[in-house]
A and B are shown apart, each in its own frame.
Chain A
């Protein structure tokens, strides 16, 4: 039964007798602008059209009202109508106002799109949806046997099925180069990160991530939401590779990527570039394996394993970038905390400080010492067993200048005996910064000397290590 919608007088398009069309007009009469709505939320002013399955799948939806001839497309119908020589009034399509936007619901009652609120805006879309979801899959790919209900889906698949295969070291297979590249960049990183978190091997299934990028292929940002690939798009990657859907959590590594600049071209090139710097650097006398960069990085953590280890093994055994890690081999050496073994840089700084405290000639003269003199007693540093010289603490504590000065004053006879736990000859007590500080008298001495800065050297006394350290400062130049 036809009902005319209240405001459109002779609206003829697509609705004529012979078809069971039920038009449910929703509400108002305002001309609807053709604007795109948010996905999943149709325009509330749109006209909801519900077609029966038969009508939906009918090939000739557009019927000429004069001769009842059916056409697949509206344009074709219009062309045909011209031939009828209609009088002027009837000639135009009688809806003078803009056609109201139409949204369609799926006739299948169990389908979510049956609800007008979830109607789809495109007739072709609803047809395809209906076929895909509720229809029979009549088209089959002969290469891989995958079945499709919609012919265009089948054709699209056929173009890429088996054409190119990219295989990541972790075993995942890709048909698209972009997704392969993106995956490879993060495959090992993710593996290592996840295994660092979980501390285990056997992370290979986590490695089998499908990193989907969007069809326009270069945006790495879209990696962050792979799971949005529901049936909506035609991107077949997900289904093809048959991998488990990865939780978004695995992409935790990528937060910096989200902020990557808009030029997506360079972002993917960047990814491929940087991963391939490491990807293929291991060569030389090896068979050129497309090894990933982490393998190379992990070389550092391998002592003696030969470089020809298969990549998978490498990944699992060296997961977590075990530079500081626990995968057995080198753990004892890397468990070294920073304190006891001083780095060369720290040693040099310390030496500079000690040298600087001893260097000020006015100071030294003031205390009847000179650097040049070889008189035994007043030597600042003695590598003599038994003398506990409290020079400076390891951490470059600002007070050490004062402490060093103390030594100049009091000579080696001053023993901060009780304060020094062990005998380390140079008083290098880690973490005991500032212990054994001079008390009142010396510090008065110390502060009185501030006034006599000579050539800036005295600053050293109360300064921090940084003022003394030469090598790093910009002061030193040619």
Chain B
């Protein structure tokens, strides 16, 4: 496979990413199969990266034949139970193949017609993730601490959980609240989830726990997709102190039909500094980034400084705005948002793929360092959790693409615009989280504080961010 420069609208060499150039380095064709077997793992890893990126380039450019060859080569080296890079390559390869197949909708649908997704398996895989990695636990600890601090002195607390699948978080909170000096508050938890069974399980565990500790407790299940959430169904009463917990949920609301946005291009003219833009603008303009992408072959944003600090690069999303507005309307005392700390919402495939490589590379590394290779739980988490996310990021577009992770700075902008004020997370919460990590025994995990938010890292690579917000009225 030779490196080539193609000036196509979507990406191949267009980005200035060094990884792209890496993928363009020529390979000598002398790759007989016996030699492949002898490759050491690093070389194989590098080769896999090379293959993945060049294959992605082909997919992005639409040259199916080359993509086919690339996938074939990758499949000879990748494996879901090999070393880290092999596993990553396996899932990325699958995602790319998925993407290619979508161009043949008949075949795609036929292949996926008999897929049965079982609720129990979903629950199980989530539990595995919770157990194997401390990320969720850390997010819970930090969230709970923020809620407890915000709810000091409150007699009635109403918590809205945007994804009530893991009762452990609330069990911990219930226990903490019952030990409160002024006694436990009257607690209501409204859990939102798409699957009724999950909510039932959660309800059971939580009411059990609350009874044990003698706390007045009520669990309201709301079976709904987040984007279709009817705020009325949450039944927030006046006088209640509301807390909202969103753990890895908000990003799915950014999913929108990007094509429409792209077509409606008009020069972005927002000035983010004035407060009165809150909830006033209907943001139908496409971003400067998208505009640029049409003009230039380069899908990347220009110089680093302008990109990170300029507010103009906030892709708009009507769904997100209306959702945030609805939440804002509940006047929550505290809203804690935990999200993946990586930009997987780039408009081009290559952008997303490269970012995802780094992000999931780190996640897979984390699993590799902490869980044995043969562990079935690990394989399931990699396949059914990470693999599906990767597939979504790489293979899907438009409304289907739900895993629209974005970096903290974007979330900060978004939430700020929606009328939320940042509440710095307390040092105590950070300490608790650190203590948790200490007891975990593995020193690859780090937590650091950044402008009042907390970022969970694996070996210096930031993976998840947690930030806390309040409803800002009359400020």
Question: Which stretch, B122-130, B224-232, B239-247, touches the partner chain A?
Answer: B122-130
Question: B167: which of A283, A358, A379, A460 is its contact (CB, 8 Å)?
Answer: A283
- Decide yes or no: A272 and B175 within 8 Å by CB, A266-B428, A356-B21 being known contacts: yes
Contact call B177/A277, Cβ cutoff below 8 A: no
Give the interface size class of chain B: 35 or more
Q: Which of A260, A294, A344 contacts B84 (CB 8 A)?
A: A344
Interface of B, secondary structure class, is: helix
Total A-B contacts with CB atoms under 8 angstroms apart: 301
Interface residues of A in 251-290 (CB under 8 A from B): 256, 260-261, 265-270, 272-274, 276-284, 288
CB distance from B297 to the nearest CB of A (A): 14
Complex formed: what's the CA distance from A272 to B369 in Å?
29
Residues from chain B with a CB closer than 8 A to the CB of A424 are: 40, 42-43
Stretch of A225-233, A234-242, A295-303 with 4 or more beta carbons under 8 angstroms from chain B: A295-303
Name the contact of B439 in the complex, choosing from A293, A330, A347, A379 (C-beta under 8 A). A293
Q: Are A351 and B46 in contact (CB under 8 A)?
A: yes
Give 1 or 0 for each of B82-120: 1 = CB within 8 Å of chain A CB: 011100100000000000000000000000000000000
In the assembled complex, which residues on chain A have CB atoms less than 8 Å from the CB atom of B123? 284
Indicate with 1 or 0, residue by residue over B75-87, a CB within 8 angstroms of chain A CB atoms: 0000000011100
Chain A residues within 8 Å of B144, by CB? 273, 277
Q: Are A347 and B45 in contact, CB atoms less than 8 angstroms apart?
A: yes
Residue from B201, B343, B372, B459 within 8 A of A303 (CB atoms):
B372
Closest approach, in angstroms, between the C-beta of A8 and any C-beta of chain B? Answer: 47
Please tell me if the beta carbons of B168 and A277 are within 8 angstroms of each other in the complex. yes
A342 and B18 within 8 A (CB): no
Q: What is the 8 Å Cβ interface bit string for chain B, positions 377-416, against chain A (1 contact, 0 not)?
A: 1000000000000000000000000000001011000000
> In the complex the two chains form, is B137's CB within 8 Å of A278's CB?
yes
- In the assembled complex, the Cα of A256 lies from the Cα of B433 at a distance in Å of 12
CB atoms of A273 and B407 under 8 A apart: no
Contact check, B28 vs A470: say whether CB atoms are below 8 A apart: no
A366 at the interface (CB under 8 A from B): no
| Beta-carbon nearest neighbor of B433 in chain A | A274
Interface centre among B169, B361, B410 (most CB of A within 10 A): B361
Within the assembled complex, what's the spacing in Å between the Cα atoms of A383 and B32?
A: 11
Q: Are B42 and A394 in contact (CB under 8 A)?
A: yes
Question: Using Cβ atoms and an 8 Å threshold, which residues of chain A touch B434?
Answer: 256
A140 CB to nearest B CB, Å: 32
A468 at the interface (CB under 8 A from B): yes
Within 8 A of A (CB), among B340-390: 343, 345-347, 351, 354-355, 357-359, 361-362, 364-365, 368-377
Picked from B131, B201, B364, B365, the residue with its CB within 8 Å of the CB of A296 is B131
Which residues 304-351 of B have a CB within 8 angstroms of A? 304, 307-308, 313, 315, 343, 345-347, 351
Closest to B44 in A: A347
Known: A347-B85, A352-B18, A383-B43. A476 touches B168 (CB 8 A): no
On whether the beta carbons of B377 and A344 are closer than 8 Å, the reply is no
Complex-state Cα separation, A355 to B357, whole angstroms: 15
C-alpha gap A376/B27 in the complex (Å): 9
| Given A260-B431, A380-B25, A371 contacting B132 (CB threshold 8 A) | no
Report chain A residues within 8 Å CB of B45: 342, 344, 347
Nearest to A269 among chain B residues (CB) is B176
Question: Interface-forming stretch among B1-9, B63-71, B156-164, B260-268?
Answer: B1-9
Flag whether B148 is at the interface (Cβ < 8 A): yes
Residues from chain A with Cβ under 8 Å of B346 in the complex: 478
Contacting pair A333 B355 (CB below 8 A): no
The answer to whether B149 touches A266 (Cβ under 8 A) is yes
User: Which chain A residue shows the least CB distance to B313?
Assistant: A478
- A300 pairs with B358, CB closer than 8 A: no
Near A by CB (< 8 A), chain B positions 447-462 give 459-461
Question: Which residues of chain A (308-354) have a CB below 8 Å from chain B?
Answer: 320-321, 323-324, 329-330, 333-334, 340-345, 347-348, 350-354
Assess the A281–B307 pair: CB atoms within 8 A: no
Closest Cβ of chain B to A129, distance in Å, is 33
Contacting B at CB under 8 A, from A347-386, are 347-348, 350-356, 358-359, 371-372, 374, 376, 379-385
Of A178, A181, A269, chain B has the most CB atoms within 10 Å of the CB of: A269
List chain B residues, Cβ under 8 A from A324: 441-442
Most buried by B among A181, A272, A348: A348
A321 touches B205 (CB 8 A): no
Q: A254 to chain B: closest CB distance in Å? A: 10
The smallest beta-carbon distance between B122 and chain A, in angstroms, is 11
CB distance B132 to A476 under 8 Å? no
Q: In the complex, which of the residues A261, A279, A320, A372 has the most CB atoms of chain B within 10 Å of its own CB atom?
A: A372
**B20 A300 Cβ-Cβ under 8 A:** no
The CA-CA distance from A276 to B3 in the complex, in Å, is: 54
Contacts of B355 in A (CB 8 A): 471, 476
The verdict on B233 contacting chain A, using a C-beta distance below 8 Å, is no
- Complex partner residue of A474 from B19, B140, B308, B368, CB under 8 angstroms: B308
Q: Are A192 and B31 in contact (CB under 8 A)?
A: no
CB neighbors of B among A170-195 (8 A): 178, 181, 189, 192
Please judge, given known A-B contacts A284-B127, A303-B375, whether A345 and B407 are in contact too, CB under 8 Å.
no
Residues on B with C-beta less than 8 A from A214 are: none
A451 to B56, CA, bound (A): 35
Residues of chain A with a CB closer than 8 A to B205's CB: 280, 283, 288
CB pair A277 B140 closer than 8 Å: yes
B26 near A478 (CB under 8 angstroms)?
A: no
Given A296-B131, A334-B372, A471-B354, A280 contacting B84 (CB threshold 8 A): no
Residues of A within 8 A of B304 (CB): 473-477
In the assembly, what is the distance between CA of A154 and CA of B459, in Å? Answer: 57
Question: Is B284 an interface position by the 8 A CB rule?
Answer: no
**Cross-chain contact B315 with A321 (CB below 8 angstroms):** no
B35 within 8 A of A: yes
Contact indicator B46/A274 (Cβ below 8 Å): no
Contact between A345 and B149, CB atoms less than 8 A apart:
no
Chain A residues contacting B287 (CB-CB under 8 Å) are 478
A428 within 8 A of B: yes
Known contacts A273-B173, A273-B175, A347-B42; is A385 also within 8 Å of B30 by CB?
Answer: yes
Q: Which residues of B contact A379 (CB under 8 A)?
A: 25-26, 28
Known: A266-B149, A273-B141, A478-B315. A371 touches B179 (CB 8 A): no
> B468 interface residue, CB < 8 Å from A?
no
Partner of B357, one of A260, A279, A348, A477: A348
B176 with A345: CB separation less than 8 A: no
Known A-B contacts A323-B370, A351-B22; A299 and B441 likewise in contact (beta carbons under 8 Å):
no
A280 with B440, Cβ < 8 A, contacts A351-B19, A379-B25 known: no
Known A-B contacts A345-B358, A385-B30; the reply to A358 vs B25 at CB < 8 A is yes
Q: How far is the CA of A354 from the CA of B185 in the complex (A)?
A: 59
A401 smallest CB distance to B (angstroms): 12
Query: With a CB–CB cut-off of 8 A, which chain B residues contact A218?
Result: 179, 181
Nearest Cβ distance between residue B86 and chain A, in whole angstroms?
A: 10
Give, as a whole number of angstroms, the nearest-CB distance from A429 to chain B.
10
Subset of 9 A-B contacts with CB under 8 Å:
A256-B435, A269-B179, A284-B201, A300-B375, A348-B357, A351-B19, A382-B26, A472-B461, A475-B307
Pairs A-B, 8 closest by C-beta atoms: A355-B22, A471-B358, A321-B441, A475-B304, A344-B361, A281-B168, A273-B176, A356-B18
A sample of 10 more A-B contacts (CB under 8 A), given A281-B130, A471-B355, is A260-B431, A274-B435, A280-B167, A344-B361, A348-B357, A351-B50, A355-B23, A424-B40, A477-B307, A478-B301
